[in-house]
Structure 1
């Protein structure tokens, strides 16, 4: 009990201190405005590039297939060299086909001799029949034999054409100008029709890049295909795997005949000059296609945008220097800026730096030192 007065004094002191603290807090007032950087919403040229994954491919490509069976007896090119149409590439052992050809020629000569004999017999019997000196049955037999001999000659001639074609196929020539790849066979290898291709020849100047475009973009690319000025400008830019730009602009070469029903996309082939043979078929790259809305658009710095749950927001500053969060609909991104479709008006002020410190309804202070 003797400590009771001291406890009362201590409690009173705590109460007084609390009251004094609240009084001091009330005297401090609201927190100072948040320092931010701002920018005015303006309209500008909305020219930008859409980027599409692309695969470099040859505009023309031919697989060299054997048409007859046999062993490779000659290879007449260097792997990777440029070849001309009609240049000899491979030979397949022709011995069996030459023997078959000689046999077919001999058979044709035999059939021609039989035809000559049958013709003479038929002429003789027909002459005798005019004199009623021979039975009609013998005349009919002679004429039938003549017709059979003619058919035998025709069959022998067709056989010669077949074996001559096979003999011709023992030498393989380049079907087009282009660059030939690494040979898939070596001397002495056995080959046959339907087996692995011997090699591939592809054109390399110009060369192309295939992209897949959404079906909603078809009309745009049809228009670009007919635009001759697009060949000379930078409408189509090829981005190399190294990140650099290919120095020559491209143009629409082919638009595929049908949309893929599974993906809803259409293949478009963009042709590029390739004088230094820098581009190789199969190369993975990206094609940038210039796009423009054709009118000035609202543009803001992309760094002013914050994303929340797949939605986009900016902080707008009103006349009283209070910040208000606005939901915006974005268009294409153009370098460090982005097009705003909805949510802002031209001339409004938005926060570009310091957005992480801003709160709804709080006052902000424009500062250039952030």
Structure 2
């Protein structure tokens, strides 16, 4: 009787367990597919630039300094205006230099008169000597006197040249057409030769932009310089301090002679037209240089990219399966990014819902509205 009771209890337990499972429940529960949205990877025009800090520099920039001493007696320009080559800008008191020039002229006249007299004496003594009418020593003295007077005439001419040079230096003129700055001296100021800075004049059209690149990029820019037409389009774009872009294109005109061994960089100069005087000498700006990889590239939304341990991945939809692909990124273009390797044009890249995915996970295209928000 006891054994029958045990069998009855076991049978009742089995029946109870089976009843708890309920109809249709067999093994582990099935995970539903993950809702996702996709975008097709496409070939598109990818134009992007490398940026370099740059400085605007005048192609001609000259400090005006006095070459003779004296007081400023005239200023003949308006500060900040464009002056033409040869225009008189400053006058230094000329009276003593005019007097020195006149004195030098008188010295030349006297020296020339002495030379002419000595020449005639020597000619006359030469004829007499041929007739043995005078002593040979008399002729020799006449020749020596002529040579002395010749030297004195040359010295007088040199003094005249120096006096005229000082007189010319008393007028400071524009060495080229350019814009002159604010005067550093006023009327009546005393100036000294070579030390007193009067003003600075610089050319403004065309104008240049200087920037430095790493020595590893030298061959790239040498190639640009040697290739005709480079820079006359959109290769070089200049961004001004206010963030706007300069409307004129530039071209390479010079690559410095050598690399700075302290920084490993080299200076490059780009020339720009500057008809409206928008670019000023010394202005800071950003030079945008067209990247060599610009062109038709594979582009996807940047939000589809997953970064893991410094590597980048995307999920690609294959029917109802999501496969993970390691990719190599190019430049970012606003909300898009260039993909250099890892996927192909036409691949359906998952842009939403991949946060819950694993490689080879099941997916359902199209996120319901309440989940997509």
Unaligned runs of at least 5 residues, structure 2: 1-19, 21-25
Shift of 1:282: 1.5
Q: Secondary structure at the match of 2:117?
A: helix
Moved more, 185-194 or 315-324: 315-324
Q: Does 1:177 align with 2:177?
A: yes
Closer/same/farther in 2, CA of residues 295 and 126 from structure 1, 3 Å limit: closer
Q: Secondary structure at the match of 1:137?
A: helix
Q: Deviations over 1:307-329 (max 9, x none)?
A: 455x3412313537555554322
Unaligned runs of at least 5 residues, structure 1: 1-19, 21-25
Partner residue in 1 for 2:10: none
Residues 70-85 of structure 1 aligned to structure 2 (within 5 Å): 70-85=70-85
Q: Does 1:227 align with 2:229?
A: yes
Partner residue in 1 for 2:341: 342
CA distance in 1, matches of 2:78, 2:354: 64
Shift of 1:61: 2.8
Residues 241-280 of structure 1 aligned to structure 2 (within 5 Å): 241-246=241-246, 248-256=247-255, 258-262=257-261, 263-272=264-273, 274-280=274-280
Residues 1-370 of structure 1 aligned to structure 2 (within 5 Å): 29=29, 36-213=36-213, 214-222=217-225, 226-227=228-229, 231=232, 233-246=233-246, 248-256=247-255, 258-262=257-261, 263-272=264-273, 274-291=274-291, 293=293, 296-308=296-308, 311-319=310-318, 325-353=324-352, 358=357, 363=362, 365-366=364-365, 367=367, 369-370=372-373
CA distance in 1, matches of 2:320, 2:258: 53
CA contact (8 A) 2:46 2:338 kept: yes
Closer/same/farther in 2, CA of residues 63 and 118 from structure 1, 3 Å limit: same
Partner residue in 2 for 1:15: none
How many residues were matched structurally?
340
Q: Deviations over 1:194-236 (max 9, x none)?
A: 3253222222233332333421322442255x218x63x4443
Q: What RMSD in Å do the two structures reach over aligned CA positions?
A: 3.1
Closer/same/farther in 2, CA of residues 149 and 322 from structure 1, 3 Å limit: same
Closer/same/farther in 2, CA of residues 203 and 139 from structure 1, 3 Å limit: same
Partner residue in 2 for 1:4: none
Q: Secondary structure at the match of 1:133?
A: coil
CA distance in 1, matches of 2:328, 2:196: 55
CA distance in 1, matches of 2:313, 2:300: 10
Shift of 1:157: 0.4
Closer/same/farther in 2, CA of residues 112 and 260 from structure 1, 3 Å limit: same
Closer/same/farther in 2, CA of residues 265 and 332 from structure 1, 3 Å limit: farther
Closer/same/farther in 2, CA of residues 219 and 106 from structure 1, 3 Å limit: closer
Shift of 1:135: 2.0
Q: Deviations over 1:265-296 (max 9, x none)?
A: 45031313x33322212111123334564763
CA contact (8 A) 1:236 1:249 kept: no
Closer/same/farther in 2, CA of residues 186 and 69 from structure 1, 3 Å limit: same
CA contact (8 A) 2:225 2:252 kept: no
Shift of 1:130: 2.2
CA contact (8 A) 2:66 2:191 kept: yes
CA distance in 1, matches of 2:325, 2:196: 63
CA contact (8 A) 1:331 1:340 kept: yes
CA distance in 1, matches of 2:152, 2:308: 87
CA contact (8 A) 1:314 1:351 kept: no
Please give the TM-score of this superposition, normalised by the length of structure 1.
Answer: 0.79
Q: Secondary structure at the match of 2:182?
A: coil
Q: Deviations over 1:139-161 (max 9, x none)?
A: 11211111111111011101101
Please give the TM-score of this superposition, normalised by the length of structure 2.
Answer: 0.79
CA contact (8 A) 2:47 2:295 kept: no
